[in-house]
Amino acid sequence: MSDRLPIAIIGAGPVGLAAAAHLLVRGERPLVLEAGPAVGHAVAQWAHVRLFTPWRYCLDGAARRLLEASGWQAPPEEEIPTGRDLIARYLAPLGALLAPHITLNARVSAITRQGADKAKDAGRAGRPFLLRIGEEEVVAARAVIDASGTWFTPSPAGADGLPALGERRAAARVQYGIPGILGAERARHAGRHTVVLGGGHSALNSLIDLATLAREAPATRITWLMRKATVEAAFGGEGADALAARGALGSAARSLVESGTVTVRSPFLVEAVRETGAGLVIEGAGGTRVEADELIVATGFRPDLAPLSELRLALDPALDCAAKLGPLIDPNIHSCGTVRPHGAAELAHPEPGFYIAGMKSYGRAPTFLLATGHEQVRSIAAALAGDAEAAARVELELPETGVCNTGPVTRQRVSVTAATGCCAPQPKPACCG
Ligand SMILES: Cc1cc2nc3c(=O)[nH]c(=O)nc-3n(C[C@H](O)[C@H](O)[C@H](O)COP(=O)(O)OP(=O)(O)OC[C@H]3O[C@@H](n4cnc5c(N)ncnc54)[C@H](O)[C@@H]3O)c2cc1C
């Protein structure tokens, strides 16, 4: 009976839709459950942001073949889309094609096995999954791919991982992620002092937008706080990055710092965010403090594991990603951010038939690329369809970040089996020396 049930996919983002395409191609029956009112609901929140990968790294192979068969034309390979373009030219047409397999406005609040809580062994693998939609509705599935992303669970400002003291009370002056500084949020930042907190690409995007705004509204002031010991580490691979647009973000930030447009305080370990009525005081370790009007928190994202509490998971203790994936993507180990390709074997959990894919599969690690997610779901779909050979064969072209500088930066065709090496493509390690 279980075999006749669909394979549930949580989330109609790029990776969830790609998973549906791969399953369809294999003759399986996907059922995509999306919390938002349209496909690409998380991408729509950052529609104004330009990606750093060109289209050729944004399109999934199976999705592309389905779309092309319907008369769709792929965008130019080297053009770089915004989030809005990604939806309009790819996700929306793909969503329309897959519409019979997608349920919108369906938030998965919990997943379990029929008649068995997490502690019960007997016949577990043969029991269907039950997905609770909201409070009252239940959907049964023979397997589950959780591709629900991390966009809606941003990390807080506190350097210790908890919301800083006062952070929640100061919510009216605090934004997370990459707000639309040059669009809907312009009035909030023009002519005012905004602090950007974080050392990753999201922070760089906000700093560059604030600097653009400062040219139009010269009283705009920008301060950049980060945990990193020196700002240099936040500039990334720059000219050595195989993705030119990603490298350019770092170079643009460097010139904003060197020109004095952006004032840097690092390391700055946020302990408290105090709303004073007139503005904010951001307090750091050792008595450091910065006064500002607005705070943009860009300290990364983390997975929402609450809906998974009745499933048997093997999670990396540091990153909350699949345990086998942890050592491959841990930013404490891999300064390069170049991650070797991986598939169903690395993403498996003790709960048979359950996988976390896409952005959520990386837990708290910051280096996820769509191309990696597409390869993940190709492999998972093969595993669920019983094609072990295709599931184990992992092939992916990875653009390197160029941060390690131990060798020439190249784009290499990688073909590895699950157990080889670290992040470095063979035969010549170019990263993580
Ligand atoms: C600003 C930004 C820029 C990026 N730029 C690049 C880039 O240039 N190149 C690149 O390769 N990658 C980039 N990434 C990383 C990554 O590729 C994207 O985040 C991508 O959107 C991840 O796709 P996803 O399908 O895993 O998750 P998401 O796009 O986050 O989709 C998850 C979906 O699940 C839904 N959902 C969430 N919870 C539930 C629930 N409980 N029940 C049902 N549905 C739910 C959401 O509404 C959403 O539609 C970027 C990320 C960000 C945030």
Summarised one tens digit per residue, pLDDT across range 28-48 is 999 999 999 999 999 999 999
What are residue 290's DSSP bridge partners?
A: 282
The answer to whether the CB of 368 is under 6 A from ligand 1 is yes
Q: Which of 9, 22, 31, 41 to mutate to test the pocket of ligand 1 (most atoms within 8 A of CB)?
A: 41
Range of lowest pLDDT (11-25, 58-72, 111-125, 397-411): 397-411
The answer to whether the CB of 249 is under 6 A from ligand 1 is no
Cα–chain center distance at 198 = 16
Range of lowest pLDDT (77-81, 352-356, 364-368): 364-368
Q: What is the pLDDT of residue 241?
A: 81
Q: What is the pLDDT of residue 233?
A: 86
How far, in Å, from the CA of 308 to the mean position of ligand 1?
A: 19
How far, in Å, from the CA of 209 to the mean position of ligand 1?
A: 21
Please state, in angstroms and rounded to a whole number, the distance separating the CA atoms of residues 107 and 224: 36
Q: Which of 360, 368, 376 to mutate to test the pocket of ligand 1 (most atoms within 8 A of CB)?
A: 368
420 pLDDT above the threshold of 60? no
Q: What is the pLDDT of residue 260?
A: 96
Q: Which of 9, 46, 51, 107 to mutate to test the pocket of ligand 1 (most atoms within 8 A of CB)?
A: 51
Give the tens place of pLDDT for each residue, 184-201: 999 999 999 999 999 999
426 pLDDT above the threshold of 70? no
The closest residue, in CA terms, to atom 9 on ligand 1 is: 53
403, 414 contact by CB (below 8 A): no
| CA distance readout (Å), 281 to 176, 233, 272 | 17, 26, 8
29, 23 contact by CB (below 8 A): yes
Q: What is the pLDDT of residue 397?
A: 63
The amino acid sitting at 7 is I
Average pLDDT, integer, range 80-92: 98
Q: What is the pLDDT of residue 331?
A: 78
Residues 379-415 as b/e (b if ≥16 CB within 10 A, e otherwise) read bbbbbbbeeeebbbbbebebbbbbbbeeeebeebebe
Q: Phi and psi of 136, rounded to 5°?
A: -115, -25
150 pLDDT above the threshold of 50? yes
388, 381 contact by CB (below 8 A): no
Q: What is the pLDDT of residue 243?
A: 83
How far, in Å, from the CA of 370 to the mean position of ligand 1?
A: 9
303 pLDDT above the threshold of 70? yes
In terms of pLDDT, which residue wins out, 154 or 123? Answer: 154
Q: What is the pLDDT of residue 421?
A: 35
Q: What is the pLDDT of residue 244?
A: 87
Average pLDDT, integer, range 242-251: 89
HSE-CB at 177 with a 13 A cutoff on CA atoms is 19
Q: How many CB atoms lie within 10 A of CB 316?
A: 20
How far, in Å, from the CA of 86 to the mean position of ligand 1?
A: 11
Q: How many CB atoms lie within 10 A of CB 302?
A: 17
The one-character DSSP state at 90 is I
In terms of pLDDT, which residue wins out, 75 or 430? Answer: 75
Q: What is the pLDDT of residue 422?
A: 37
414 pLDDT above the threshold of 70? no
The answer to whether the CB of 107 is under 6 A from ligand 1 is yes
The answer to whether the CB of 154 is under 6 A from ligand 1 is no
Average pLDDT, the chain: 90
End-to-end CA distance of the chain: 51
How far, in Å, from the CA of 10 to the mean position of ligand 1?
A: 12
In terms of pLDDT, which residue wins out, 332 or 205? Answer: 205
The closest residue, in CA terms, to atom 13 on ligand 1 is: 369
The answer to whether the CB of 42 is under 6 A from ligand 1 is yes
In terms of pLDDT, which residue wins out, 299 or 4? Answer: 299
Ligand 1 atom closest to 41 (CA): 49
Ligand 1 atom closest to 373 (CA): 26
The answer to whether the CB of 358 is under 6 A from ligand 1 is yes
Average pLDDT, integer, range 322-343: 77
The amino acid sitting at 324 is K
404 pLDDT above the threshold of 80? no
What are residue 32's DSSP bridge partners?
A: 9, 102
160 pLDDT above the threshold of 60? yes
Q: What is the pLDDT of residue 245?
A: 87
Give the total residue count for the chain.
433
366 pLDDT above the threshold of 80? yes
Average pLDDT, integer, range 55-67: 97
Please give the share of the chain, as a percent, with pLDDT higher than 70. 89
Average pLDDT, integer, range 285-291: 97
Q: Where residue 341 falls among pLDDT bands split at 50, 70, 90?
A: confident
The amino acid sitting at 60 is D
Q: What is the pLDDT of residue 336?
A: 56
In this prediction the pTM is 0.92
